[in-house]
Amino acid sequence: MSAIEQMRQELTLLQQQNNLRSLPALVHEGREVLIDHRRMLNLSSNDYLGLASNEELRREFLQTLTPENFLPASSSSRLLTGNFTAYSRLENELADLFGTEAALTFNCGYHANTGILPVVSNAQTLILADKLIHASLIDGIKLSVAKAIRYRHNDYAQLERLIQENHEKYERIIIVTESIFSMDGDEADLATLVRLKRTYASVLLYVDEAHAFGVRGLRGLGCAEEQGCIADIDFLVGTFGKALASSGAYIVCSQVIREYLINKMRPFIFTTALPPINIEWTLFLLKRLPAWGTLRQQLSQISDRLREALKQKGYACPSTSHIIPLIAGTSSSTIALADVFQRKGFYVLPVRPPTVPEGTSRLRFSLTAAIEASEIDQLIEIIA
């Protein structure tokens, strides 16, 4: 059989299993999306604070632009000529906000997670990673030569046992977790992880705050701010593409780690830097982030409302955040359910294997501060 024929058969199989993916033809209109002229409220966006759909912000930013400072290309990697001044302004702002020695930015979270883990680990390293971490972290682990063990989701008793059994056999142990988890919307207990880490000198902690940055903490710096443990996390990573309505990612860390990454990390070294205009936009938003507490409260209130309703209707709801799954079971029942919501004007998407384990296909409500409480109530009416 030819390679192409083999691929075709695999695609057919995916289709038969209701797991075939395709790119939707979407037209965006602020908080809404249009598909085949069907208008729906977007409940699948990571624009958690509603900033990306906020025209006023874009207008304000546009007023700062001139043909001279509108720089749409960096034309080089940062180590060559792509290191525009906006980069150090952004990294200084991040380090100031977080109160860390240093910060470093990347083109995206995928680059951050696949790039950092392989260089901060070696053959004498053991990576202990939560079972439900994001694909980019999994790929980072695959690219590293370290030995890796996945512990059961948020099972810190198992994690502690693994540390006890192994800390003398390895030079270094790195615990890897998300703060808010992508698919269940539940959270790591950062305080417990920090306590564990402090018990053993060789343990380092890596936390991905992609879903929490912007959303949690008094100034929106994430769960680590909320739980008062920013300084205790060795690798504190987050992204700009979700709540911050931009793109890119950061690590806030020590000066040594920053310098080490600049020298070693391949997705940092061998890629064209993000356009300066994008960095300016990120900085424009980052400076305003601490003041958007009202948006964070609004998001928290509508999230509570939806989670409570799901529980009352008998659904198991692991979420403690603005990411709220409705676990339906099979792929086909989830697709059918998504269609019901879409017909009623709510753009909710099914999440299926391999993104989530077999038998736990779900609708994933990803709420934003641009959604009204009355819209949540309409949504609740539809849920059986």
Ligand X SMILES: *Cc1c(COP(=O)(O)O)cnc(C)c1O
Q: Closest Cα to residue 39, out of 370, 359, 353, 345?
A: 345
249 binds ligand X (CB under 6 A): yes
Q: Which of 100, 136, 154, 278 binds ligand X (CB under 6 A)?
A: 136
Pick the stretch among 104-112, 121-129, 310-318, 341-349 that binds ligand X (CB under 6 A): 104-112
74 binds ligand X (CB under 6 A): no
Question: How far is 75 from 80, CA to CA, in rounded Å?
Answer: 10
Binding mask 138-177 for ligand X (x = CB under 6 A): ----------------------------------------
Report the nearest approach of ligand X to the CB of residue 366 (Å).
11
Query: Known catalytic residue: 134?
Result: yes
Tokens of 61: 């930013």
Q: Which member of 107, 121, 144, 211 is catalytic?
A: 211
C-beta of 188 vs 210, nearer to ligand X: 210
Q: Which of 44, 125, 239, 361 binds ligand X (CB under 6 A)?
A: 239
3-state secondary structure of 252: strand
110 binds ligand X (CB under 6 A): yes
Query: Known catalytic residue: 46?
Result: yes
Contact between 273 and 77 under an 8 Å Cβ cutoff? The reply is yes
Report the nearest approach of ligand X to the CB of residue 261 (Å).
16
Query: Known catalytic residue: 37?
Result: no
Report the nearest approach of ligand X to the CB of residue 238 (Å).
9
Query: Known catalytic residue: 254?
Result: no
Tokens of 162: 């693994």
Report the nearest approach of ligand X to the CB of residue 153 (Å).
14
Contacts of 373 (CB under 8 A, 6+ apart): 301, 302, 305
C-beta pairs of 192-200 under 8 Å, 24+ apart in sequence:
192/156, 193/156, 194/229, 194/232, 194/233, 196/156, 196/159, 196/160, 196/163, 197/232, 198/232, 199/163, 200/163, 200/167, 200/173
208 binds ligand X (CB under 6 A): yes
Residues 172-191 binding ligand X (CB under 6 A) are 178, 182
Report the nearest approach of ligand X to the CB of residue 106 (Å).
8
Contact between 213 and 220 under an 8 Å Cβ cutoff? The reply is yes
Within 13 Å, how many C-alpha atoms sit on residue 57's CB side? 20
DSSP for 302-342, written as a single string: HHHHHHHHHHHTT------SSEEEEEEESHHHHHHHHHHHH
Query: Known catalytic residue: 211?
Result: yes
Pick the stretch among 18-26, 70-78, 106-114, 269-277 that binds ligand X (CB under 6 A): 106-114
Q: Which residues are catalytic?
A: 46, 134, 178, 182, 208, 211, 242
Contact positions vs ligand X (CB under 6 A): 108-110, 113, 134, 136, 178, 182, 208, 210-211, 239, 241, 249
